[in-house]
Amino acid sequence: MLYRYLLVTSFCLGSCLVSSFAVADEAALDQRISRLERMLESQPLVEMLRRLEALQQDVKQMRGEQEQLNYSIEGIKKRQRDLYLDIDQRLMAFEQSGAIGSGAGESAANDNADVSNAGATIDDRKELLDYQNAFEILRTRRYDDAIVAFKSYAERYPSGKYLANAKYWLGEANYVTRRFPVAIEELNKVLKDHPKSNKVQDALLKIGFSYYELKQWPEARASLQKLVDAYPGSTAGKLAHKRLDQMDADGR
């Protein structure tokens, strides 16, 4: 009997202790929750969180603006290259009207008239057709194919009538496709091998532009200034002067 009494008493005492601990734990938990709530309600912390969220939004916006800016810059560069090519095509058309020069750099249109002469040989006609074919490929903006075609022309006609023009357009095609070191190499051949060609000023312009794209400012300035000094009133000279003014404004 005494044993049963002690057992019951022990059980009741244990239950009371467990309940006490449970109540104590619950009270401690409530206190911790209360402290966290007070911390969250603290004005400095709320302000810090608000600023952090604002900064995150600013970063997202800046990234979006940066992506848009990069896209716009690439579009501007493409339009600029197309514009330069269009200017060259207009100059070529002007050449074809017979208004610019004659001789080795004379126009394809004038040469068309020459082909109809009885004195034109089969080789002359073949050379003209090969050159016109390469130029037509370039005109349709198939630049890689044009590079192959002009290289083929230059190899086939090392003393050709249109060799200076072919070398220039070879450089132009590489410039438009952003192969700037190759463009400089090809355009320098115009200056070296055909110093009296009417393509010299255009070659100087594109050499300067190519160095500009490569961020080689001294080389770009040297080529553009040489063009301005030698051909101040030409279309190419005016474009070079404009780029030099831009470089001055940019501190380059």
* Mean pLDDT of the region 19-37: 63
Indicate whether 57 belongs to any domain: no
The whole-number pLDDT of residue 86 equals 55
Query: What are the backbone dihedrals phi and psi of residue 188, each rounded to the nearest 5 degrees, phi first?
Result: -65, -25
Residues 141, 175: contact at Cβ < 8 Å?
Answer: no
Residues 204, 191: contact at Cβ < 8 Å?
Answer: yes
pTM listed for this prediction? 0.58
**Cα–Cα dist 57/198, whole Å:** 56
Indicate whether 142 belongs to any domain: yes
Indicate whether 159 belongs to any domain: yes
Indicate whether 4 belongs to any domain: no
The whole-number pLDDT of residue 245 equals 93
Indicate whether 221 belongs to any domain: yes
* Mean pLDDT of the region 180-195: 95
Question: Over 50: is that where the pLDDT of 205 sits?
Answer: yes
- CATH number, domain containing residue 77: 1.25.40.10
pLDDT digits over 123-169, tens only? 788 999 999 999 999 988 899 999 999 999 999 999 899 999 999 99
As for how many domains the chain has, the answer is 1
Q: Which of 210, 199, 238, 205 is nearest to 224 (CA)?
A: 205
Structural domain boundaries, residue 217: 70-250
